[in-house]
Every structure is written in C-alpha cells, then in structure tokens.
Amino acid sequence: MTIIETFKTDKNLFLQTLGLCVFAAALPFSVSLIQGGAILFILAGLWRARKDNTLSLLPAEIKANPLLIPWLIYMAAGIAAAAAGIDPVRSFKALNSDLLTMVTFLGLALFLRPAQRHTAFNVYTAAATAAAVMGIFQALNGLAHGLDIRAHATNHPVRFGEIMVIALALTLSRLFSGEEISPRLKKALYAAAALMISAIALSQTRGAYLGTAMVFVALFVLKPASRRAVLAVVAAAAVLGLSLSMLNPRLRYKVGSIFMGANSAVTQTQAPDQSIGTRLILWRTGFKIIKDYPMLGAGPANVKKLFPVYCPPPYPENTVWGSLHNLYIHQTAERGLVGLAALLTLFAAMFITALRAHRAAPSAVAAWAIAIMAPYYLMNVTEITFQHVHTSYAVMFALAAAITTTSGNAK
C-alpha cells in the first residue's frame, strides 16, 4: 500500500507511518524531530488501538517486553540517586530524558509492523547516507583550503562518528544477512556503506574507529556464510582508509594514538595529545567524586556542579565539564554503584534480548541489533553515548525492531 493509498484508507496508520519516517530521517540530524516523530508514532498507534478496540491488550504486551524490568530497575536507581543527590530538583528534571527514552523504546516495540520497519530502515539508511555525504564534503572542502576540518554534518564530530557506526551496522547487516535483496538495492547499500566508512574515517573519532572494527568482528561471528564478503568489505575499508589518510596524515595519527592513549591510561604517563589528556583528567575527577559519593552518587546531571570542587583550575581546555567522557565512570559518579549495577543490568539485558531475537529469527533486523551491542558498549568508554539522543534512540530502534520480529508484530 502506497503512502497516498494509506492516507485515503487509514489516516491513523498514515500518521503513525509519518511519525516513524520523521523519527528515522531525523536520527542522524535533529533531537527535536527524533523525539517529535517518536511521539507522533506512539500517539497514532494508541489512537489506532482505541479505534480497533485493542487498548486493553496493550498492558499485557508491554509487560511481555523483555527489557521492561531492566528499564524499570534503571529508572528506580536513577530516582534513588536523584533523591539522595546534592541537587534533587536538577536531577529529577534530568531524569525526564531517561523516561522519554524508555517510553519511546516501549512504544516502538509495541507498534512497529514489518512494512513499517522496512520503510523506516530505508529512510534511516538514506538519511545517514546524506549525513555521510555532508560530512565528507566538509572534510574534503577543508583540505582543499588547507584546513583540517573533521567530518561532522550537523553534530559534533565524535557524535557524528558514532551515529555513522550505528547506521553502518544496519547497512552491513542487510548486506550480509543472507536474505534475498534486489541487485539495485545491493548496489545502493554497498555505496552507502562506502560513504559511511569514509565519513567515519574523516570524523577522526577514535571511538568510532574501534566501534567500526567491532561491527565487522560481530558480523564475521554472526554470519558464517557471509564471512568472505565481510572480509572483502574489511579489505576495501582498509584501502579506503589508507587512501584518505594520504590526503590527511592526521587520520594515521588518530589510529596510532588509540594504543598510545590506552598505554597512558594504564601507566599514568604523559598523554599523546590534548584530547586524550583531557579525558584522563576527567576520568580521575570522576573517581574522586565516586570516592565521596560511592553508593547513590551525587545525583544525575550534577557532575558539572561538582567539577570545580574536584578539579581545581586551570580546567582542562578551560572548560567546566558536565561530562566525564566515559559513561561507566560518569554514571557511577552521578548514580553510585547502585546506578552502575542498574546500567550494567540494562546493558546485559539488551545484549541477551538481541541475541535471543537473532537466534529465534536470524534476519537482518536481528543482526543489526546484536551487531551494534558490543560496539555501543565500547564507544561508551570514551563518551556518554547512551545519554545522547541520536545514538541511544537508534540503538533502541534496533532493539525494538528485533523484538518485533519474534513477537505478534512480526505477523
């Protein structure tokens, strides 16, 4: 059924699909449109359920969601940390973001249907490809004018790199799933993958480099029948990366500095550059906060308030930081060991849910969810990616889509 036919025959379904498409298209670009599209999708889904007299069935479906309890545990830990923190009002306001993420995930898992998934995946892939083109142009145009500009599209380069990794995981999952796709779509997906890999390289984001490598490893393990194709794309990606590094030697340094930075963190020696040095200072500051607020933390969104107390001037990069650039340290500082345990419980449940979905229905949809889990956890070591809308909502989208392949929504 076309969009026009849907509009004529079922306006609620049209609004629901429209909301999902806005959500998918905005994932690489706009927080407001991501959340607005998700809300429209959920509200239209509720209205359709009311019209179909199936509203009474929704509580049971929500209760059956395998991530409901882990999410509620995570939210409860956040509430406890907010109540016990140094600024409860500020912390409770910050928890609205977690609540909206949870509601969005539950709504996506509740109302996604196969035809909508397919449409949304195409829209998301096209949007991510457009963002990749924007980023590549920015970087190459900068080089043409003698400037070292990191690919970023409409985001910070680090977040942009992470956005590209998640989109690349979907693109490669569709290519290596073993499902039959048309030659035209296959060419389009390979072209999109090449552009995304180029954008990741030009973003100069070390976490995204590691995340990309982990995506390839995950798909190599998950898809034995496609291992030759995976290795061929890895080889092509390496050639592409080397070619781009010839244009900008800074890319070679970024790759090499990953190992130097890890050595600095372990041996507590001089960091190889300012970015790594700043992160090491932030992490040490986080450990100081944790020492004073071990169980329930200082409260969500309170790192910035405490930063001057635990990191006296001169501040790294002359900034009072609100992010410790490591999700696990950051959340422990703000939510304590209780909050860290809740976060790790949620992350473990996400992985198990994706793995079970893949075993039950080894499709491209489920492959995307499981392929992105390890890279996502890894990228959170140098960032608080879980707390960023562009990335967290994309991962929740992957999980919701995987869940619906094994639920009644798959029908």
In a domain, residue 40? The reply is no
* Mean pLDDT, range 266-294, rounded to an integer: 92
Looking at every residue in the chain, the average pLDDT score rounds to 94
Q: What is the pLDDT of residues 308-353, one digit of tens each?
A: 999 988 898 889 999 999 999 999 999 999 999 999 999 999 999 9
Q: What is the pLDDT of residues 56-84, one digit of tens each?
A: 999 999 999 999 999 999 999 999 999 99
Are 260 and 366 in a shared domain?
no
Contact 297, 342 (CB under 8 A): no
Contact 208, 162 (CB under 8 A): yes
In a domain, residue 239? The reply is yes
Does the structure show a pLDDT above 70 at 411? no
In a domain, residue 173? The reply is yes
Are 210 and 286 in a shared domain?
no
Of 252, 271, 290, which residue sits at a domain end? 271
Are 284 and 339 in a shared domain?
yes
Tokens standing for residue 352 = 């198990």
Q: What is the pLDDT of residues 123-169, one digit of tens each?
A: 999 999 999 999 999 999 999 999 999 999 999 999 999 999 999 99
- Residue 114, Cβ neighbours under 10 Å: how many? 14
Does the structure show a pLDDT above 80 at 186? yes
Tokens standing for residue 331 = 């959340």
Tally the domains of the chain: 2
In a domain, residue 4? The reply is no
Are 124 and 248 in a shared domain?
yes
For 208, the domain range is 114-271
Contact 357, 400 (CB under 8 A): no
What pTM, to 2 d.p., does this model score? 0.95
Residue spans of beta strands (DSSP E) within 250-305: none
